[in-house]
């Protein structure tokens, strides 16, 4: 996806029937699991003794990696959209009953991959492994999937894909024998998976935190230090230029304290740059006065730098709208950066920022979406919120009355995006298949670009539409405008044509719009003026 893949093995599993959180330690630590019961607290409440709102103090738990399921209900409600911004998509029988999304990758408008695992039963003290996948190649209409064909001792941290047939996963084991863990690849849509041996992650201390492919050939994978942990240890990093046939070891970033590790599944890629989130907790509690760090490579993983953050425990989510502007989050703490992560600033935001997923919206400057439950919220307002100003203000996109969770998100453009979704069943004894997805069902625009669109109705006319050859004519009946810009984008939000009209008092009549070099499909023509914006859909047969 070349984008956010911040999904798994680093957040608490919420057990709704018990009101507690489940955390998993790094394999090899003396204590494997611990459960903290908090029956009087909603899943998003602030907790006494913690400066990390919405999460129980990490020193309450033994942890290195944590597993997420936020199984609270999300409610649909009225929002400021012409139609509901998200539509619910069922994965059908591709995933067993009572499973939930752990990772989601939007490859194209048609192709989506997702990882699933079972919701813990009531009273569970262990988190079920992530070993199930689903895939669509027709925009969510049909799904295939099932149990991943990997050794039975493995648990999966994340998935990355380049098309409907080719994907990679990073998988770890809790046993002392590390021979099976590492990077696995499929070239047949998930039917079979093959281990790529040269990214070994095979020592007793190795732990693969994630894998990402920028294209079909170039990829990077990263994990904890393969040597006994000291302040001279470095994260284990490999890159490939041949689809993973061979992986080359690289010098990873050096840790600065004995409680510092990479956080499994926490990363974001944009262009040739990839950011990886760290954690400052080895299972005994967060390192005193030492925050989690952010690791960064601008050359697809070959070389790395590291920067401090003001997040005390972990960098759970990372999202950038440009190489310089981005957000980092952990629980309800939100940081912004304007220099690629070198420094960061805590945001005192307003509105409902949500803690179970965050992504940038491509093609919209400083625009982000968060999903999950807002701070101080309950299952009744699980949903999604959008910020158009770099995270300072958040507006609800979707809350209301239908029993659907919305969490984990991957946006491909301002017109294409998917999130994890789960209809609330009875945990431990469900009567329905609750695994699901939500799909973006609208065109996202900056507020100042659409606020006057009603006044511009009929101003832009395009014909013939549909067009058999990609040749259109257009009229712009707005003589008073001093600025009139036309932009055509494809289904992925990519700009395919731009036209700047002269700022005259005359209307524009029967002007040629040549899209004959574009493939058949649906395109968006947007007219931006000082009076607002209006949009027309163009169809090339």
Tell me the per-residue pLDDT of 139-149, one tens digit each, with 9 for 90 and over: 999 999 999 99
325: confidence class by pLDDT, cuts 50, 70, 90? very high
pLDDT at 208: 97
269: confidence class by pLDDT, cuts 50, 70, 90? very high
Q: Higher-confidence residue: 140 or 484?
A: 140
35: confidence class by pLDDT, cuts 50, 70, 90? very low
282: confidence class by pLDDT, cuts 50, 70, 90? low
Is residue 424 over pLDDT 70? no
pLDDT at 299: 98
262, 314 contact by CB (below 8 A): no
170, 155 contact by CB (below 8 A): no
pLDDT at 425: 45
Is residue 112 over pLDDT 90? yes
Which of the residue ranges 193-197, 222-226, 480-484 would you say has the lowest mean pLDDT? 480-484
Q: Which two tokens stand for residue 440?
A: 């973006």
pLDDT at 165: 98
Which of the residue ranges 346-355, 368-377, 493-502 would you say has the lowest mean pLDDT? 493-502
In order of their start, the domains of the chain are 69-444 (2.130.10.10), 449-540 (2.60.40.1930)
Is residue 318 over pLDDT 50? yes
CA distances from 152 to 134, 181, 208, 485 (A): 18, 11, 17, 57
455: confidence class by pLDDT, cuts 50, 70, 90? low
Q: Which two tokens stand for residue 85?
A: 């911004």
427: confidence class by pLDDT, cuts 50, 70, 90? very low
CA 371 to chain centre: 10
365: confidence class by pLDDT, cuts 50, 70, 90? confident
pLDDT at 490: 82
305, 296 contact by CB (below 8 A): yes
280: confidence class by pLDDT, cuts 50, 70, 90? confident
Q: Which two tokens stand for residue 494?
A: 């990519």
Q: Which two tokens stand for residue 29?
A: 């630590």
Which of the residue ranges 53-57, 89-93, 348-352, 472-476 would you say has the lowest mean pLDDT? 53-57
Is residue 512 over pLDDT 80? yes
394, 387 contact by CB (below 8 A): yes
185, 194 contact by CB (below 8 A): yes
Is residue 168 over pLDDT 60? yes
Is residue 435 over pLDDT 70? no
In sequence order, what are the residues at sequence separation of 6 or more whose Cβ sits closer than 8 angstroms to the Cβ of residue 320?
268, 270, 273, 275, 326, 327, 340, 360
7-27 mean pLDDT: 31
pLDDT at 227: 87
Q: Is 449 left (phi over 0), alpha (psi -120 to 50) or beta?
A: alpha
Task: In whole angstroms, give the CA distance from residue 54 to residue 77.
Answer: 23
Closest by CA position to 522, among listed 490, 495, 474: 490
pLDDT at 92: 86
pLDDT at 214: 98
CA distances from 470 to 351, 460, 512 (A): 43, 18, 11
Q: Higher-confidence residue: 76 or 159?
A: 159
23, 15 contact by CB (below 8 A): no
Is residue 4 over pLDDT 50? no
88: confidence class by pLDDT, cuts 50, 70, 90? confident
pLDDT at 400: 52
Is residue 518 over pLDDT 90? yes
Which of the 8 DSSP states describes residue 448? H
pTM to 2 decimal places = 0.74
Percentage of the residues of the chain whose pLDDT score is greater than 90: 50
501: confidence class by pLDDT, cuts 50, 70, 90? confident
How many alpha carbons fall within 13 Å on the CB side of residue 368?
A: 32
């Amino acid at each position: 996806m070349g984008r956010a893949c911040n999904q798994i093995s680093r957040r608490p599993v919420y057990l709704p029937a018990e009101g507690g959180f489940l955390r998993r330690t790094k394999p090899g630590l003396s204590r494997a699991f611990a459960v903290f019961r908090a029956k009087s607290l909603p899943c998003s409440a602030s907790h006494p003794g913690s400066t990390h709102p919405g999460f129980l103090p990490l020193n309450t738990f033994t942890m290195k990696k944590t597993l997420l399921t936020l199984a609270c209900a999300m409610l649909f409600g009225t929002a400021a959209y012409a139609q509901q911004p998200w539509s619910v998509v069922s994965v059908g029988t591709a995933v067993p009953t009572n499973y939930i999304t752990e990772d989601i990758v939007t490859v194209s408008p048609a192709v989506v991959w997702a990882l699933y695992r079972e919701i813990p039963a009531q009273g569970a003290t262990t988190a079920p492994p992530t070993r199930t996948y689903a895939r669509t190649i027709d925009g969510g209409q049909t799904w295939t999937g099932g149990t991943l064909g990997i050794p039975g001792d493995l648990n999966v941290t994340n998935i990355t894909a380049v098309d409907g047939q080719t994907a990679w996963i990073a998988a770890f084991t809790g046993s002392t024998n590390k021979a099976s863990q590492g990077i696995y690849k499929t070239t047949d849509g998930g039917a079979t998976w093959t281990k790529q041996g040269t990214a070994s992650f095979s020592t007793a201390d190795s732990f693969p935190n994630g894998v990402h492919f920028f294209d079909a050939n170039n990829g990077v994978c990263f994990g904890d230090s393969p040597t006994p942990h000291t302040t001279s240890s470095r994260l284990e990093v490999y890159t490939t230029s041949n689809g993973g046939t061979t992986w080359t070891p690289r010098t990873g970033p050096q840790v600065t304290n004995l409680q510092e590790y990479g956080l499994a599944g926490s990363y974001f890629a944009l262009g040739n740059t990839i950011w990886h989130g760290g954690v400052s907790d080895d299972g005994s509690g967060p390192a005193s006065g030492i925050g989690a760090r952010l690791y960064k490579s601008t050359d697809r993983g070959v070389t790395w730098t590291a920067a401090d953050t003001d997040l005390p425990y972990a960098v759970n989510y990372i999202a950038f709208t440009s190489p310089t502007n981005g957000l980092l989050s952990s629980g309800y703490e939100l940081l912004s950066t304007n220099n690629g992560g070198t420094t960061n600033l805590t945001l005192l935001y307003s509105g409902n920022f949500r803690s179970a997923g965050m992504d940038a919206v491509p093609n919209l400057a400083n625009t982000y979406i968060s999903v999950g439950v807002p701070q101080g919220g309950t299952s009744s307002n699980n949903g999604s919120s959008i910020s158009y100003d770099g995270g300072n203000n958040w507006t609800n996109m979707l809350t209301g009355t239908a029993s659907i969770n919305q969490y984990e998100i991957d946006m491909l453009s301002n017109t294409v995006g998917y999130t994890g979704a789960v209809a609330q069943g009875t945990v431990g004894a469900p009567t329905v298949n609750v695994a699901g997805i939500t799909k973006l069902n609208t065109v996202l625009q900056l507020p100042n670009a659409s606020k006057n669109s009603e006044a511009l109705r009929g101003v832009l006319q395009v014909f013939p539409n549909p067009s058999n050859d990609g040749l259109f004519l257009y009229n712009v009946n707005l003589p008073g405008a001093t600025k009139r810009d036309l932009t055509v984008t494809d289904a992925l939000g990519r700009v395919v044509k731009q036209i700047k009209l002269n700022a005259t008092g005359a209307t524009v009549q029967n002007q040629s719009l040549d899209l004959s070099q574009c493939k058949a499909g649906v395109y968006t023509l947007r007219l931006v003026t000082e009076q607002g914006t209006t949009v027309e859909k163009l169809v090339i047969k």
